Structure formats: structure tokens, C-alpha cells
Structure 1
Amino acid sequence: MGLEDVLAAVIGGNLVVLLLAAVVILSVVLGVRIVPQSEKHVVERFGRLRSVLGPGINLIVPFLDRVAHKISILERQLPNASQDAITADNVLVQVETSVFYRILEPEKTVYRIRDIDGAIATTVAGIVRAEIGKMELDQVQSNRSDLIATIKDSVEDAVENWGIEVTRAEILDVNLDQQTRDAMLQQLNAERARRAAVTEAEGQKRAVELQADAQLYAAEQAAKARRISAEAEAYATQVVAQAIADNGLEAAQYQVALKQVEALTKVGEGAGKQTIIVPAHAMDAFADAFKMLKGRG
């Protein structure tokens, strides 16, 4: 065997080793798959679904299995969409919506639907029109949170077979046409005028009530004063009656005669009155008083 034959054998052996090493390296490269935390990989074998690789290091059969789809499992947001809808009271509104979702089962998303974003957007538009058609405009404006929750639940039921989860559904705005806005503005102004009139009427009513209460209070106080005066007079009468009962009629007559004398004395003390004309019965009163005074002395 010549030198050339030896060199050829050595080179051939080295080539085989190199080929085997290349095959081993290629097998390792093709068989080991490192999946990022934010992704899932769909593996196919001869065109059929083989498995779904989760985050981390995964092993597949080289040359038989291949990663056909790399699916992000991060939350996604659909572009804001605007669709027309008619409320139960026949008002045309334009609703702007936004939907957030994420893929949970990539194998369903890959093999059951082609354009997942377009499918979700179409589903949301139909559900929004259906739900708003059940409500009047005032309910759409005031119960937006309930409407959002209903839309989210309906979308989740509709896309369940696509392997996704709807995380949020938002109604960003509800716009009205100009004619409807003008009509609502007129209604709002009329309602404000009505409330102002009601407030003014209630104020006048309250003023009348307060005035009547004041008059009633004044009447009650006057009646109370008259009652107290009457009670005082009754008490004085009772005292006199008790004195008469205790001291006899003579004591009462003495007090009356004394008062008469005092009254006539005051009349005589008046300025410019030198002569006093006294009725005859007044003289009798003087005589009675003098007698009683004398008797008391």
C-alpha cells in the first residue's frame, strides 16, 4: 500500500468522523429547543400537530419534528374599532371599543382560525350592536360598566373554541349625531328651566309656611298672655275671697272704704283744684271709712 493510499484512508476516516460530528451537532441543534417565557411553540411531525412546547428547554426528535409556529402569549390589544348601533329608542350611536386578549392554547388558535384579530373584532362589533339594541340611550350612558361586563362575557363565550382569553373589553366613547345632540341639549335646557321653576315655587311655599308659622306663634303667645292675665285675676279674686272668708265682711268693707278715701285725697291734691264737688254717696263712703278707721284705732 502506497503513501497515497494511506493518506486517502486517513482523510476518508477523518471525513467520516467529521460527518458524524456534524450530524451529532446538527441533531443537538435541531433536537433542543429553548422557548422564551413569553412564547409557546407548536411542533409538527409530517404536517400534523405533535406537541406544544412551553417556556424553558425542550427536546424534540430531530429531522422528524419541527417548530411550525412560534406564538406569543403576551396580552394583546386590538386596534380601536368604531361601529354604528341603534338603541331601543331608535337613536343612532357610534360606539368606539377596545379589546385586550391573550392566547392560552396556541394549537386551537393556529388550527381553528386564520385571522384571530379580525375574527375577534368582527365578533365584538356584532355583540356590541346586539347589546346596545336592547337598551335605551339613557341606559347606555348611565350603565356603561354593566354594558362592558356583558360584552366581555359574550365575547368570551364566542371565542372559547379559539384558545384565547379576553382579559378586558372597554367602551371608550359613545358618540351621537349632531341632530340628536341638539335635541338632547334642548331637552337638557328644558329640564334645567323646570328644576329652576320648581325650586322657586318651593322657596315661595317655604316662605309662606314660615310666615304662617310666625303668625301662629304670635297668636299662641298672645293667647298665652291672656291666659296668664286671666289666671292672675282669678288668683287675685281667690285671695280676696279667702280674706273675706278669714276676716269677715267687715275687713273687706274697710279695705274698700280706705281705697275710696285715698282716691278722693289724690283728687283733692290736684293742682288748681280748690273746690271739690263730691256726690252724696261719696260722703257716705267717707263716713263709713272714718267709722271703720276709728273702730280700728
Structure 2
Amino acid sequence: MDFENLIVGLLENNLAFLLLAVLIVIVIFRAVKIVPQSEQHVVERFGRLRKVLGPGINMIVPFIDRIAHRVSILERQLPTASQDAITRDNVLTQVDTSVFYRITEPEKTVYRIRDVDSAISTTVAGIVRAEIGKMDLDEVQANRSALITTIKANVEDAVDNWGIEVTRAEILDVNLDAATRAAMMQQLNAERARRAQVTEAEGKKRAVELAADAELYASEQTAKARRVLAEAEAYATQVVAQAINENGLEAAQYQIALKQVEALGGMAAGDGNQTVIVPAEALAAFGDAFRLLRGRG
């Protein structure tokens, strides 16, 4: 009996020890929480927010605290959304947008908004309509980068109380209805035709200007040649006058006689058989010229 009682006592002590060990393991397991790098965990105590656990090993009070929400802090992309918007010049457009965001304060996100994606999409749609309504269609197409910046800033202000950071906003496309596209195409074709006509007119104008410049240049060159010829003749006259002044009338008669002989030689050197009829008075003059030439020789 004593031996059996000893065995029973040992078993009871070991069982109590085992139960205590199991309880300790359970407490440690419930108290130690390992949070992944891409998550944050929201802890509640009796239904109220207790704290937010960051990545790594964390401790909570077992059986009192519990992890109520596991929130991913990775960047998220909303599905591409399309919304109708009317520009300031009354053109109906369909704008495709996409927004990237991440949760920075999970305690705000889980307790202030139920459906984050839907709330952000609705906010973006309203802001896009409001901003495009302030601009003409041409401004929307030309200033898309500035429009994206404005939309992103406005969305950030709107979702700030939700513990969300908007990392990027994009306008993927701005679509127009068929009638507007047809009207814009007609306008584009008309503008191309106008530019072609302007280019052709400018080409013709340039051709006329070049022709006028060529004529002016030719006139200038002709005038320059005439001026040179006149200067040469003036110089020759000056030389003859100087010779007459220095040598008297004899020099002038010599020059005249020389010209007469050159003219007669030119007439005789023509093609074919020429008959040159010279008046008697001219013969007398030629005789004088020959005498002067012989005298010079």
C-alpha cells in the first residue's frame, strides 16, 4: 500500500508539473507576438484600442489583450477607375485614373473607415470632376502633369484623417465621345490645310524676294561696270588732255591719225573681198596722218 501510494503521489506531482509547464508554454505563446516586416497589428483590450505592434517581436498581456486587426503596410494600387467629367468649355470626357497608397497609421484606418478602397475611389472621382471642371479641354490635354499633381495633393488632404499616405496618382487616359472626336478631327484637318497654305504663300513670297534681290544685284553690278568704264574713259581723256598740254596740238593730231589708221586697218581686215571707197578729203587727212606717224617713228 505504501508503494502504491508513493507511485500515485509521484504521478500526481508529475501531472501537476506537466500541467504547469503546459500552462507556461501557453502563456508565453499568447504573450509573445512576432509581426512580419510588411504588417502592423492592432491590439485591443476589452474591446478598446491598446496599442499597435510594429515588425519584430512584441509582448502583450495574454488572455486580456488580443490582436484585433492585422494590417498590411505595403503600397497598394486601386483598380483603374473611369469617371465622367465636363470641362469648362462643356466637353464631356471620360477620365481613367489610378491611385497608389499605403497605410501609415493602422489605428486610424481600422476605426475611422470601413472600406478604404471604395472611400478613396469616391474621393478621387469627386476631385477629378471638380478639377477638370475648372479647365478647358485643351488645358486638360496640355497640363496633364500639373493636373495630376493637384489631384494627388487634394486626395492627400482628404484621406489624411484615415491614416493613409497617397504615394502616386495617375491620369491614364482622357477619352472623348465620337461627336467631339469628329469635330476635333475636322478642326485639326482645317488647321493643317491653313498651315500648308501659309507655307506655300511664304514660299512664293520668298521666291519673289529672291528674284528682286537678284535683279537689284544685277543692276548694281551693271552700274558698277558703267562707273568703272566712265572712270577709265575719264582717265583716258585726262591723259590725252595732259599730253596736249605738254606737247601741244601735235600730240592731239598724232592720236587722231593713229585712230584713223587703226580704223582703216580694221575695215580692210574683214572677211571676204572688201572695196573701201575713201573720199579725196579723207585721203588727204590720211596722208597727213601717215606723215605724222612717220614723223613719230
TM-score (norm 1): 0.91
1:225 corresponding residue in structure 2: 225
Aligned pair in 2 of structure 1 residues 291, 174: CA closer, same or farther (>3 Å)? closer
- Equivalent AA in structure 1 for residue 237 of structure 2: T
1:96 counterpart residue number: 96
Q: Identity rate of aligned residues, in percent?
A: 73
Instruction: List aligned pairs for 1:104-253, cutoff 5 A.
Output: 104-253=104-253
Matches of 1:205 and 1:266, distance apart in 2: 52
Root-mean-square deviation (CA), in Å? Answer: 2.3
Say if 2:257 and 2:293, in contact at 8 Å, map to a contact too. Answer: no
The one-character-per-residue Cα deviations of 1:49-84 (angstroms, maximum 9, x if unpaired) are 111111111111111211111110111111111100
CA distance in 2, matches of 1:159, 1:20: 50
**Shift of residue 39, structure 1, vs aligned partner:** 0.6
* Correspondences of 1:59-78 after superposition (within 5 Å): 59-78=59-78
1:19 corresponds in structure 2 to: 19
1:222-279 superposed Cα distances (whole Å, 9 cap, x missing partner): 2122112111111111111222223223222223234335545776898464x84524
Report if aligned partners of 2:268, 2:274 keep a CA contact under 8 Å in 1: no
Aligned counterparts of 2:242 and 2:167: Cα–Cα separation in 1: 98
Q: How many angstroms apart in 2 are the aligned matches of 1:116 and 1:266?
A: 114
Conserved 8 A contact 2:88-2:137:
yes
Please give the per-residue CA displacement for 1:108-146, whole angstroms capped at 9, x wherever unaligned: 111111111111111100110011001111111111111
CA distance 1:276–1:219, shift in 2 (3 Å):
closer
Shift of the 107–277 alpha-carbon distance from structure 1 to 2, 3 Å rule, reads closer
| 2: CA distance, partners of 1:287 / 1:183 | 98
What is the letter of the counterpart of residue 222 of structure 1? T
Q: Which residue of 1 aligns with 2:279?
A: 278
TM-superposition CA deviations, 1:28-47 (whole Å, max 9, x none): 10111111111111111111
**Structure 2: gaps of 5 or more residues:** none
- Which amino acid counterpart does residue 109 of structure 1 have in structure 2? T
SS at match of 2:63: coil
Cα 1:243–1:37 change in 2 (3 A) is: same
1:263–1:54 Cα change, 3 Å: closer
Letter in 1 for 2:95: V
Tell me how far apart the structure 1 counterparts of residues 294 and 199 of structure 2 sit (CA, whole Å).
Answer: 81
In the TM superposition, what is the alpha-carbon distance from 1:181 to its structure 2 partner? 0.9
* Residues 241 and 116 of structure 1: CA distance in aligned 2, closer, same or farther (over 3 Å): same
Structure 1 residues 155 and 269, CA gap change in structure 2 (3 angstroms): closer
Which amino acid in structure 1 is aligned with residue 47 of structure 2?
Answer: G
Query: Cα–Cα, structure 1 residues 80 and 198, in superposed 2: closer, same or farther, change >3 Å?
Result: same
The verdict on how the C-alpha distance between 1:295 and 1:68 changes in structure 2, with shifts beyond 3 A counting, is closer
* Closer/same/farther in 2, CA of residues 294 and 101 from structure 1, 3 Å limit: closer
Matched position secondary structure for 2:42: strand
Deviation at 1:292, TM superposition (A): 3.9
Matched residue type, 1:168: R
Measure the CA separation in 1 of the matches of 2:20 and 2:205: 105
Name stretches of at least 5 consecutive residues in structure 1 with no aligned partner: none
Partner amino acid, structure 1, of 2:279: V
User: What amino acid is aligned across from residue 209 of structure 1 in structure 2?
Assistant: E
Distance 1:238 1:296 in 2: 22
- The corresponding residue for 1:254 is 254
Q: Confirm or deny: 8 A CA contact 1:268 1:276 kept in the other structure.
A: no
Q: What secondary structure does 1:70 align onto?
A: strand
Q: Contact (CA 8 Å) 1:100, 1:169: kept in 2 or not? A: yes
Bigger Cα displacement from structure 2, 96-105 vs 220-229? 220-229
2:79 is aligned to 79
Secondary structure at the counterpart of residue 111 of structure 2:
helix
1:10 to partner: Cα distance? 3.0
How many residues end up aligned between the 2 structures?
A: 295
Shift of 1:8: 4.1
TM-score (norm 2): 0.91
Give the direction of change, closer, same or farther, for the CA distance of 1:233–1:32 in structure 2 (3 Å limit): same
Distance 2:236 2:147 in 1: 83
Match of 1:30 in 2: 30
| Structure 1 counterpart SS, 2:18 | helix
**Aligned partner letter, 2:50:** R
